[in-house]
Amino acid sequence: MDKDRVEQLLRAACDFGGNNMKARAACREKYRAAEKNEENILRILIDGAMATLAMRTTQKIAAVNETISYQLGVSASFVRTHFIVSEMIMDGDLVEAMVLLRKQLESLVRLHELDTKPVGKLEGKVPNIQNVMNKGAGRVYGNLSEVAHFAKPKVTELLHVVENGERCGPSLHPLYSERALACFDLHCYVAIYFLAWFVEKLTAWYPEYVADADKELVGHIAKIAIDAGVIRLDAGEQGGTTPQNGPAA
């Protein structure tokens, strides 16, 4: 490959990356403008609780076994992915955010499975959503799987269809869409379930840990999410909460 061709490819990659950065910055600005005050408070509280609880795991656990080791790894991955998803939603990368939300839901289910089953029974098996979460979570998982597999043409609409002269098609760069707020609802739903599990599990891993304040915080976060309409209570379903909206196209 000659030098001119290499330089042309490098310029194309740099230009594309630069346009992506500009598009994401514009998306974030529009997202913040559309975000309600209670949604902003909820996002800050969830992120703060996630970071606070996660930092507790940097302390030594007196007695570590195979299950605890597994759960620590899954929990660390969940926390890291949580902040990545937050950035993706605000930056307009909704398909990518939903693919990772599917992973988050599976991770959450695996954590619950490990509370009742030995590692050997779960190793090599996909987490079973229906056996652990409520019916609402099963519906959410189905929607997320549709996006992850591009199972229906309408998923393309999450990329934002644009018109440019005679061309009409998906944008190559992120564009703000109101679906980002619905995606945020799903993100909160999964995160709150995780926080509720996490704070209880920390009391088992660290007997000296006084969890009263953190449990109160998680309860406060859940109440704000319900009051803000981010999640709703469904009578008769185990767990009692489902997302208010879905980001499906």
Q: Mind giving me the DSSP string for 213-228?
A: HHHHHHHHHHHHHHHT
pLDDT at 133: 62
State which amino acid sits at residue 20: N
Contact of 185 with 231, CB cutoff 8 Å: yes
pLDDT at 132: 64
pLDDT value, residue 26: 97
Task: Compute the Cα dihedral for 57, 58, 59, 63 and give only its sign.
Answer: positive
Residue 93 reports pLDDT greater than 90: yes
Q: Which residue has the higher pLDDT, 180 or 168?
A: 180
Classify burial at 84, counting beta carbons within 10 Å of its beta carbon; exposed 0-12, middle 13-18, buried 19 or more.
Answer: middle
Q: Average of pLDDT values for 97-115?
A: 95
Residue 237 is predicted with a pLDDT of 46
Could you give the CA distance from residue 232 to residue 214 in angstroms, rounded to a whole number? Answer: 22
For the chain, the straight-line distance linking the first and the last C-alpha, in angstroms and rounded, comes to: 42
What does the pLDDT read at residue 249? 44
CB atoms within 10 A of CB 117: 12
**pLDDT for the residue numbered 148:** 93
Nearest to 221 by CA among 91, 38, 32: 38
170-191 pLDDT, tens digit per residue, is 889 999 999 999 999 999 999 9
Question: For residue 170, what are the β-bridge partners?
Answer: 161
pTM, two decimals, is 0.89
Rounded Cα–Cα distance for residues 17 and 132 (Å): 41
Residue 97 tokens, joined:
């955010």
The whole-chain average pLDDT of the chain stands at 89
Q: How far apart are CA 85 and CA 63, in angstroms?
A: 32
- Angle between helix axes 212-227 and 37-56 (nearest 10 degrees) is 150
Average pLDDT over residues 146-158: 88
Q: Please state, in angstroms and rounded to a whole number, the distance separating the CA atoms of residues 239 and 193.
A: 9
Tokens 């393309």 identify what position? 156
Buried b / exposed e over 222-241, threshold 16 CB at 10 Å, is: bebbbebebbeeeeeeeeeb
Measured distance CA(85)–CA(38) in Å, rounded: 19
Q: What does residue 248 show for φ and ψ, rounded to 5 degrees?
A: -60, 150
Say if residue 248's pLDDT is above 70. no
The reported pLDDT for the residue numbered 234 is: 61
User: Are 241 and 221 contacting, i.e. CB atoms less than 8 angstroms apart?
Assistant: no
Whether the per-residue pLDDT at 151 is higher than 80: the answer is: yes
Q: How confident is the model at residue 200 (pLDDT cuts 50, 70, 90)?
A: very high
- Is the pLDDT assigned to residue 167 strictly greater than 80? no
Task: Taking residues 145-170, report their average pLDDT.
Answer: 82
